[in-house]
Amino acid sequence: MTSQVDQGTARGSVADGAQRARDAMHSARISLGRAFEAESANYFMLLGLTLFMVVFGLLMVLSSSYVASHADGSSFFAKFFSQGSYALIGVPMMLFISRIPSSFWQRWAWAGLFGACALQMLVVFTPLGYGINNNTNWLKVGPIMFQPSELIKISLVLWLGMFLTRKEARLRQFGQVMVPALIIAFVPLFLIMKGDDLGTTMILGLMLLGALFFAGIPLWQMLVLAVGAGAAAFVLAFASSNRTARIMAFLHPSAADPNGTGYQVLQSKWGMADGGIFGVGLGNSESKWSWLPASSTDFIFSVTAEELGLIGAVLVLLLFVALTFVLLRIIRAAPTMFARVVTGGVLIWIIGQAIINVAVVLGLFPVLGVPLPLISSGGTALISTLAALGIVLSFARDERRARRGLGQRSTASIDR
């Protein structure tokens, strides 16, 4: 009798062990499945669109810059290899940043803004500042040269997200939200304007307005701020003789000097006119043969329209429309106020800058020196834009996790 009991106990132990092994294998399969679980549709749409625009931008940088690169005594591919190296840094960095939780950015928002402003102070108050085309906006340390203003874009939008999240319950109180936000934002705006970079200053102003709008600030406060910002932009625009000349050339295009202020815009229009509907062919632009200044940076859209025609120009515009659509989807699905405000600021930054760039190239806006995001040549601008989109990608991942957590809570409630 005792042996039968022992045998039953042994069989029960074996069965229990087998069951535990099956449970462990099932748990491992679930964990492995979650590890390889697809991200949200918004994540893949934004990632795919960004990568396509980077590759397209590299192609156009190669086409628009090889003549100027050779004329400078460098290789035909000098600017292309330079931009490609920045892309090889920026894309993996974007993917790495997309894995960082939003709590990290909220925790270090103050430090990031302070550090970026400190670097910009080196630009405007020390001999390390370097100027190009009347803009002192570069920090040059030996062979290294970059734009701290691009870091300010990221740090400011992160700080606004952190600040407005903390003030979420008091958004309608002008003195509690709008006033401190404007005081803090004035510092980077002043530092960049000190270097005579009106274009970047306008982009930062638009980002501030966008972040406040997506946070839910009352419209009457937004209207007051917009009127004040417009008045300040008007004063600053005419505070420089160089900017005044550009504005006069814009207001009176027929009287613009083809060999002076109006030269660049006229060459841009002539090049696009040559492109027609189908373009003159990739690499066959005549404007880039030392006719159109900044052909691979601020006026790369003109070369694109000349070589790829109206079809290529519309494609570029549709890419930015698609990017707007995806970012709005992420804003709508954002699980937190921080994600909504930061994504809204990034949306206004990239799309607002693209609109200004295209408007300048078409002669619809005075020349400001603003590059086309993800397309134009420029290492610091490309890396900062990819970093900002990496942060937005992390929000798209949070959206997936938030939905999964909500589903688990709902299942648990049903089980109870």
Condensed to tens digits (0 to 9), the pLDDT of residues 295-314 reads: 899 999 999 999 999 999 99
Eight-state DSSP code of residue 142: T
What percent of the chain is modeled with pLDDT above 90?
Answer: 53
3-state secondary structure of 77: coil
Over residues 261-277, the mean pLDDT reads: 86
Say which residue, 200 or 406, is predicted with more confidence. 200
* Sequence-distant (≥ 6) Cβ neighbours of residue 165 within 8 angstroms: 106, 336, 337, 338, 341
- Does 207 score more than 90 pLDDT? yes
Say which residue, 264 or 11, is predicted with more confidence. 264
Max mean pLDDT range (164-173, 251-260, 394-403): 164-173
pLDDT of residue 410: 44
Over residues 195-207, the mean pLDDT reads: 90
pLDDT band for 320, please (50, 70, 90 cuts): very high
Max mean pLDDT range (165-169, 195-199, 235-239): 165-169
pLDDT of residue 324: 97
pLDDT of residue 244: 80
Task: Say which amino acid occupies 328.
Answer: L
pLDDT of residue 411: 46
- Does 10 score more than 70 pLDDT? no
pLDDT of residue 252: 73
pLDDT of residue 119: 94
- pLDDT tens-digit map of 233-253: 888 888 777 778 778 777 776
pLDDT band for 195, please (50, 70, 90 cuts): confident
Say which residue, 310 or 36, is predicted with more confidence. 310
pLDDT of residue 32: 39
- Does 73 score more than 90 pLDDT? no
* Sequence-distant (≥ 6) Cβ neighbours of residue 77 within 8 angstroms: 62, 66, 69
What is the maximum alpha-carbon separation in the chain? 114
Over residues 58-63, the mean pLDDT reads: 94
Say which residue, 416 or 256, is predicted with more confidence. 256
Say which residue, 235 or 29, is predicted with more confidence. 235
**Nearest in space to 144 (alpha carbons), one of 122, 174, 163, 162:** 122
Over residues 130-153, the mean pLDDT reads: 85
Supply the mean pLDDT for the chain: 85
Contact 139, 119 (CB under 8 A): yes
- pLDDT tens-digit map of 343-382: 999 999 999 999 999 999 998 888 888 999 999 999 999 9
